[in-house]
């Protein structure tokens, strides 16, 4: 099987990255060690290639209405320059993908989809737009674009130093879930603040032909700050500490948004695919919980969770937290369990006590 390659593959090879097949893309798993890359983001900064993420443009007079119908939220009322997290669900309410939608202007939206679901999301956006007879065009620009993320406490200083001077004040005031058009060395880029690590961070989207130059500029600017290239492995531990769900783990086609702890994303007073099923679903029987334990043994996805000998759910993501130094996990459990409840997790046949805690596990001060 031939893997898709991002425009930054030569950079990853030069840096000696360990590559992996991720959703059909050749992607860096790590460059040095997972722990070192994780710590760099928490303490200084890390740079990621996320060009495998789907970049799908929805444009036209009815683009907002088309997205309203295709997704569980209302995107048509979102102001220009804002971004919103949303979900696409099936007719039965099961989750197809979680997405971030950016509004560029009155008729132009950008949808960022997970790499594994990019083709399906694009196809569903087209089908749902056509069903609505919306005047909107859907175009998948992923392979022609790049997406580079700089995450960590030093991210603003790093990105600010490469952005052309006339845009620096605008970057300084760019709020969370905001985005805009900038230039770096005269090269047009789209910069957003919608990261997936729990730290302050910036995502730089541009033409794929400019990817290597942009990476090199950012890497040079980040060197005095101790920025490190980071792979998918550290990205996963970072997002887990931040309590952020992952498609394929917490979010699946077999779970509705409410069952996966994402019911807040659903706006039922508008027409969308899956609305009827979600309206009839009633109160969810499960919910998303955070669990924390002691020692060094981490629960893994698929481990069963019990209370007083009765199984109440399953671990969906688990790790020995590099930042906190103890095991943490996300789990889908019976709804209604209280904070502080002690549970038993089956970790490779052995009992591992863990406690239900507030999410996120880690909150940045930057």
pLDDT digits (tens, 9 = 90+) for 154-180: 999 999 999 999 999 999 999 999 999
Measure CA 196 to chain center. Answer: 5
Banded pLDDT at 1 (limits 50, 70, 90): confident
Q: Could you give the CA distance from residue 179 to residue 181 in angstroms, rounded to a whole number? A: 7
Q: Could you give the CA distance from residue 36 to residue 228 in angstroms, rounded to a whole number? A: 9
> Is 364 among the domain residues?
no
**Both tokens of residue 276?**
């009827």
Angle of helix 211-222 relative to helix 155-162, nearest 10 degrees, comes to: 120
122 and 61 in a common domain: yes
- pLDDT given at position 366: 67
Which residues are known binding-site members? Answer: 203
75 and 111 in a common domain: yes
286 and 207 in a common domain: no
To which residue do tokens 């060395």 refer? 185
CA-CA-CA-CA torsion for 324, 336, 307, 299, nearest 10 degrees?
-30
User: Can you give the C-alpha Rg of the chain in angstroms?
Assistant: 21
Using the predicted structure, report yes or no on whether residue 69 has a pLDDT greater than 80: yes
136 and 11 in a common domain: no
> Is 363 among the domain residues?
no
Q: Are 85 and 98 in contact (CB under 8 A)?
A: yes
Query: Distances from the Cα of 17 to the Cαs of 57, 62, 76, 96, in angstroms?
Result: 31, 43, 41, 31
356 CB burial (10 A radius; 0-12, 13-18, 19+): buried
What mean pLDDT is predicted for residues 51-80? 98
Which residues are known binding-site members for substrate? Answer: 203
Using the predicted structure, report yes or no on whether residue 186 has a pLDDT greater than 90: yes
Which of 88, 108, 140 is the C-terminal boundary of a domain?
A: 140
Using the predicted structure, report yes or no on whether residue 248 has a pLDDT greater than 70: yes
**Span 46-58, pLDDT tens digits:** 999 999 999 999 9
* Domains identified in the chain, total number: 3
Q: Is the omega angle on the peptide bond into residue 360 within 30 degrees of 0, that is, cis?
A: yes
Domain that holds residue 285: 247-357
Nearest to 196 by CA among 240, 230, 165: 240
Banded pLDDT at 228 (limits 50, 70, 90): very high
What mean pLDDT is predicted for residues 299-319? 97
Using the predicted structure, report yes or no on whether residue 185 has a pLDDT greater than 90: yes
**Span 262-277, pLDDT tens digits:** 999 999 999 999 999 9
**Span 104-135, pLDDT tens digits:** 999 999 999 999 999 999 999 999 999 999 99
350 and 292 in a common domain: yes
Q: 222 Cβ partners below 8 Å, 6+ apart?
A: 45, 47, 150, 154, 158
48 and 171 in a common domain: yes
351 and 270 in a common domain: yes
């Amino acid at each position: 099987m031939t893997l898709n390659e991002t425009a930054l593959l030569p950079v990853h090879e030069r840096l000696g990255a360990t590559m992996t097949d991720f959703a059909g893309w050749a992607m860096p798993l790590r460059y040095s060690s997972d722990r070192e890359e994780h710590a760099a983001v928490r303490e200084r900064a890390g740079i990621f290639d996320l060009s495998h993420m789907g970049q799908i443009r929805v444009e036209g007079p009815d683009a907002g209405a088309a997205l309203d119908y295709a997704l569980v939220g209302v995107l048509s009322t979102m102001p220009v320059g804002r971004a919103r997290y949303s979900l696409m669900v099936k007719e039965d309410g099961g989750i197809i993908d979680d997405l971030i939608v950016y509004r560029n202007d009155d008729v132009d939206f950008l949808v960022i989809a997970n790499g594994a679901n990019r083709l399906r999301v694009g196809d569903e956006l087209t089908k749902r737009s056509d069903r609505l007879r919306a005047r909107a065009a859907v175009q998948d620009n992923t392979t022609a674009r790049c997406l580079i993320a700089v995450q960590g406490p030093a991210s603003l200083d790093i990105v600010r130093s490469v952005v052309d001077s006339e845009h620096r004040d605008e970057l300084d005031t760019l709020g969370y879930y905001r985005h805009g058009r900038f230039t770096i060395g005269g090269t047009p880029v789209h910069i957003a603040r919608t990261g997936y690590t729990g730290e302050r961070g910036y995502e730089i989207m541009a033409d794929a032909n400019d990817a290597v130059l942009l990476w090199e500029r950012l890497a040079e600017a980040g060197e005095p700050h101790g920025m490190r290239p980071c792979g998918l492995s550290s990205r996963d531990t970072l997002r887990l500490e931040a309590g952020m769900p992952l498609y394929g783990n917490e979010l699946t086609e077999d779970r509705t948004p409410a069952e996966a702890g994402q019911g807040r994303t659903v706006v039922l007073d508008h027409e969308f695919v899956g609305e009827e099923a979600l309206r009839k679903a009633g109160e969810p029987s499960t919910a998303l919980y955070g669990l924390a334990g002691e020692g060094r043994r981490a629960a893994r996805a698929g481990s069963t969770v019990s209370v007083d000998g009765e199984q109440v759910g399953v671990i969906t993501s688990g790790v020995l937290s590099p930042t906190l130094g103890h095991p943490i996990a996300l789990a889908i459990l019976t709804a209604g369990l209280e904070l502080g409840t002690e549970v038993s997790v089956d970790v490779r046949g052995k009992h591992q006590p863990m406690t239900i805690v507030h999410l996120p596990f880690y909150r940045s001060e930057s």
